[in-house]
Structure 1
Amino acid sequence: MSKEILINSSGYEARIALVENGMVLEVLHERQARESIVGNIYKGRVEKVLPGLQAAFVDIGMHKSAFMHASDVAKQNSQEGLPDHMSRVQNISSLVHEGQNIVVQVYKDQIGSKGARVTTQLSIPSRYLVMMPREKDMSAISVRITDEDERQRLTTILQGLNEKNPGFGLIARTNAEGASKVGLFNDYRFLKKLWEKLSHRIENNPAKSLIYSEFSLDKRTIRDEISENLTKITIDSLEVYRDVSAFIQDFAADWRGELVNYQGSRPLFDFHNIDDEIDKALSRQVPLKSGGNLVFDQNEALTTIDVNTGQFVGYKSLEDTAFKTNLEAGHAIARQIRLRNLAGIIIIDFIDMYDPEHKEQLLHALEERLSEDSSKTHVLGITNLGLVEVTRKRTTDTLYNHLCEPCDRCDATGMVKTIETLTYQLFREISRSVKQFKASKVLVIASVNLVEYIFDEHNESIAEIEETLSKQLSFQAEESYSRDQYDVVLL
């Protein structure tokens, strides 16, 4: 299993594609204006306690207060010397009070109108280990490590580290499988020094301040994905390439993969057809090779996926046709869930099958493919109607909601790309055109809305593009152009 990471970075946006055996599995985005804060630790202040919801709002210094449920604070209090009977009480008023300073970690970004979700159960991952400051005696192994001898080896090493460490518990990540004792000790030493710094900040920093900031998107992706299966990392920005190179030397010096600074004439994502895959992932319908298709419908509460046979008629019987289509659909659905970053409740309407063995094989195939997902995913049973319920942990917004917005021309029954997405798409088109054809100047003809937004929000980006391409850019607003229409004219 060969994995590759592609990193496309500019001053305004970072995009990362995870590719396995030539197939795109995940696409990650981060923009300057919407950087993820998942993993960040804050010293906050309880702003309001809501006993009816068993929750509290915590001011962490952001424009919107974070939300914390009672279940996210109980374990912390049990570690701080409260009696056992009180630590089991789920009444939020018994756990926190208004005006209280409290250390919390973000585990879910602000999505839509909802503020970030936070917990007092802190966890900080490194390459092989996860530090658990609130669980001082914890010594656990990732469930994805199934070899009993390896689990016992890691357990012995972790117990030895915990004996020397009074400050925090440890969990061995999946990447720890086969890691040397020296590598694990180096990870532990890094986490110990980090916790000493964080403890000092918690003690001395005022409320509503940032205590720990998670790595940037490129670094945390490499931290989570780097292994012997990761054979290549390709980066199209020299600055990011140098930064990542230094990070790997400090964090994973034993990695033997290839780090490449891409300098091709075609944009990196264009060269690997990643943008085409993104556009397909934004579409409602996904074709299957057999002739069948998948239909995706998303709303705030859940996502439904309908499996259709389409033009596929099979070779033997209706049962055989349904089984083969469902099996192919199961593999495609597992990939699309990761690619689209679907989360929450996912209902899959497979084609009806009657053979119990076929149903069991389908569930096994779906579970096997979803087990490769880094997000926690659970597959529940299949009903008589062929419905399968899947739950997936939500930490960031879906690809669809990240790149699109409700259409004001159809009463929000459809979606269009945001003006920000259109801007970055235009910037990439300018770069692509200039690199392919000779020109001294570039004229952009676009809709009034798009031109006004670029001048209002992206003057610095325009200057940066002009400097990078050594070309002069000029813009012409055309009232007859629709919102998403533009042309790049080379002069």
Structure 2
Amino acid sequence: MSDCLFIQRTPEETRVGLRRGGRLWELEVDHTGGRSLSGNVYRGRVVRISAEMNAAFVEIGLEKQGLLHAQDVWLSTQHHSRPETLQSGVDGAPPSRGSAPKIDSIIEIGQEVLVQITREPIAKKGPRVTMFPSLPGRNVVLLPHEPHVGVSRMIDDPDERQRLHSLVHRILPRELGAIVRTVGEAATEAEVANDLAFLRAQWFDLKERFAHASAPSFLHADLDLTLRSLRDRVTAQTETIWITDPSDRDRVETFLKRFHPDLSPQVREHSDNTSLFMTHGLSTEVDASLNPQVTLPEGGDLMIELTEAMTVIDVNSSRRKESGRLADSQLRLNLSAAREIARQLQLRNIGGLVVVDFVKMRRVEDRRMLEAVLEAELSQDRARVRISRMNRFGIVMMTRKRARQSIYGPLTDSCAVCQGRGYVRSATDIAVETLNRLRKTLRSAHSTDLLLRVEAPARVAAVLQGQLAGVIDDLAERHGAEIVISALGASAKDSNEVALSSRPGGSAH
């Protein structure tokens, strides 16, 4: 299955899309000059300690302070080094840091620390930071404060995992750690050594900057979105890289020679007046990625709903009558949903807790098959995903590591009417409330010859002039008043506001 990488860069934004097998699988949009906050390193100052959260708040020079949990505090007084002999186990993740001590026993207010952003600010939450930085290269990620050697879980060949583990263990000083990335599979010793040498030099330079900086100070940023996409998204399956900015060609080709000397994707420049994403049909897929409903090939659909605490995905069966056994059709639908869910999580970059409500299946073997397919599909995700077993209600829970904001961040705004809830007050309820306001106004009026004007959104005005018209006429007659209902223009169609004005005497105009 071939990949095609699209990099659309304009003065306003950088937009990157990865198409795999003819479908959009990854999307990243940046309106800040191509750089995100995730991966940035700062010299920060501890300004507050929360015993309840077992965390500290660190001033790093951004709008919101960074949250530093106790388990993310690095104690420089501890001895950190790998054992000289090679240990069994080549898992990609560093070993657990154990139970976290009390935050006020390991850090104090006013202390200046080197921290890296691991999760960008999301909604009302500030960035999450750690004192265990990681510096990504092409084939490996350097872990300066974690003397552990690991291999990406996506490299599943045992012999290759052991080769890479032994190689890094031999090259890297014992006080440092590293994880071999998925793209590092089959990397030569020279390629790994060059990567590690580059990252070590970067780390020593970063420490030098920290020593001479005052808090809060910015010290280091990851590559911009264009080069970061080349580093992280280009693989042996990448056939073509499309760019839009002529000035990018030299640096793209130079970067590919430096980080991908064994690959030769074709770099093509888009010169059409139409945008790159529109020309290749990606804009339609981007629009679809913002729709909560996703149609499945088997006839059902997914409903993807984001909340403050989690993302909920509901698998709905088709209303059309299926041929064959019900259990078989349920399995086919759920398997189709599992494959699409894996794609949607990556495409929308959904992180945190995800709860999936599959169509309930009675057969245990069907549930186990679904779990296996879901795990296999999610194993290709570059973000770490942890999955629970399906319970008897058809529910699967998973967590997906959240580093950068989802596509909803740069591509959407909260609805000004519903404040992001996804619903508004009903027209009938607003109309009834308007009637109550009219009654109150008429009861307190000192004149019997009163003109009342009601300006309401079209949907509310339709209720007042329709099903409640008789009530309004009766109200006007009993109080000797004239009530005029006006519908606001189309620009106010989503407003919940109803304007009520009055003046004594006269007739409506």
TM-score range, shorter chain: 0.7 to 0.9
Amino acid at match of 2:167: I
Specify the alignment match of 1:482 in structure 2: 491
Q: Distance in 2 between matches of 1:293 and 1:69?
A: 39
Cross-structure match for 1:118: 129
Counterpart check, 1:220 vs 2:228: yes
- Shift in Å at residue 88 of structure 1? 5.9
Q: Contact 2:39/2:116 (CA < 8 Å) preserved in 1?
A: yes
Give distance in 1, aligned partners of 2:198 and 2:42. Answer: 21
Instruction: Please list, as runs of the form range in 1=range in 2, the aligned pairs for 1:422-437 lying within 5 A after superposition.
Output: none
Structure 1, unaligned runs of 5 or more? 417-478, 485-491
Name the SS of the counterpart of 2:491 in structure 1: coil
- 1:308 is matched with which residue? 316
Is the Cα contact below 8 Å between 2:4 and 2:240 reproduced in 1?
yes
Alignment check: 8 A CA contact 1:25 1:339 kept:
yes
Instruction: Judge conservation of contact 1:76–1:121 (CA < 8 Å) in 2.
Output: no
Query: Letter of the aligned partner of 2:157 in structure 1?
Result: D
Structure 1 residue 235 corresponds to structure 2 residue 243: yes
Whole-Å separation in 2 of the counterparts to 1:242 and 1:480:
52
For residues 33 and 127 of structure 1, what CA distance do their matches in structure 2 show? Answer: 23
2:135 pairs with 1:127: no
Superposition pairs of residues 394-433 of structure 1, within 5 angstroms:
394-414=402-422
Of 136, 151, 162, 1:152 maps to 162
Give the secondary structure class of the aligned counterpart of 2:203.
helix
Distance 2:131 2:306 in 1: 31
- C-alpha displacement of 1:53: 1.4
Instruction: Give the letter aligned to residue 302 of structure 1.
Output: M
| Structure 1 partner of 2:383 | 375
Seen in structure 2, the aligned counterparts of structure 1 residues 3 and 271 have a Cα distance that, compared at 3 Å, is same
Amino acid at match of 1:11: P
Whole-angstrom distance in 1 between the partners of 2:253 and 2:220: 23
5 Å matches for 1:176-325? Answer: 176-325=184-333
1:36 aligns to 2:28 (yes or no):
no
Partner of 1:18: 18
Name the structure with the higher helix share. 1
**Deviation at 1:168?**
2.3
Q: Which moved more, 1:309-318 or 1:351-360?
A: 309-318
Contact 2:34-2:226 within 8 A present in 1 as well = no
Separation (CA, whole Å) in 1 of partners of 2:4 and 2:65:
38
> Is the contact between residue 406 and residue 414 of structure 1 (CA under 8 Å) also seen in structure 2?
no
| Alignment equivalent of 1:96, drawn from 107, 112, 134 | 107
User: Is 2:13–2:33's contact at 8 Å kept on the other side of the alignment?
Assistant: no
Amino acid at match of 1:18: L
Secondary structure of the residue aligned to 1:224 is helix
Q: Which residue of 1 aligns with 2:56?
A: 56
Task: Tell me the CA shift for residue 33 of structure 1.
Answer: 7.5
Which residue in the other structure is 1:105 paired with?
116
- What secondary structure, in the 3-state scheme, does the structure 1 residue paired with 2:193 have? helix
State the alpha-carbon separation in 2 of the partners of residues 220 and 328 from structure 1.
32
CA contact under 8 A between 1:78 and 1:87: conserved in structure 2? no
CA contact (8 A) 2:74 2:145 kept: no
Quick check: 1:404–1:415 contact (8 Å CA) kept in 2? no
Equivalents in 1 of 2:492, 2:38: separation in Å? 33
Distance 2:3 2:318 in 1: 32
SS at match of 1:313: coil
CA drift at 1:87: 8.9
Give 5+ residue unaligned stretches, structure 2: 82-96, 425-487, 494-509
Post-superposition shift, 1:139?
2.2
- Aligned runs of 1:430-449 on 2, under 5 Å? none
Q: CA shift at 1:382, angstroms?
A: 0.7
Q: How many residues align?
A: 416
Normalising by structure 1, what TM-score?
Answer: 0.80
Residue 78 of structure 1 aligns to a residue whose secondary structure is: coil
* RMSD after superposition: 2.5
Q: For 1:360-409, what per-residue CA distance to the aligned partner results, in whole angstroms no more than 9, with x for missing partners?
A: 11111111111111111112111111111121111122222432222222
Q: Is the Cα–Cα contact under 8 Å of residues 110 and 117 in structure 1 kept in the other structure?
A: yes
Q: 1:281 to 1:79 in 2, by over 3 A?
A: farther
Aligned-pair distance for 1:480?
6.5
Question: How far 1:186 moved relative to its partner?
Answer: 1.1
Secondary structure at the aligned position of 1:227 is classed as coil
Return the alpha-carbon distance in structure 1 between the equivalents of residues 49 and 403 of structure 2. 24
Q: Secondary structure at the match of 1:357?
A: helix
Which AA in structure 1 matches 2:160?
E
Deviates more, 1:308-317 or 1:200-209: 308-317
Alignment CA distance shift 1:363-1:412 (3 Å) = same
- The separation in 2 between residues aligned to 1:344 and 1:377, in whole angstroms, is 9
CA contact (8 A) 2:154 2:380 kept: no
Quick check: 1:405–1:415 contact (8 Å CA) kept in 2? no
* Kept after mapping to 1: 8 A contact 2:65/2:126: yes
In the TM superposition, what is the alpha-carbon distance from 1:156 to its structure 2 partner? 2.3
Contact 2:71 2:99 in 1 (8 A): no
Q: How far, CA to CA, are the matches of 1:100 and 1:80 in structure 2?
A: 21
C-alpha separation in 2, matches of 1:181 and 1:9: 35
Shift of 1:151: 1.8
Q: Is the 8 A contact 1:131 1:169 kept in 2?
A: yes
User: 2:410, 2:222 → 1: CA distance?
Assistant: 20
TM-aligned CA distance change 1:203 to 1:412, over 3 Å: closer
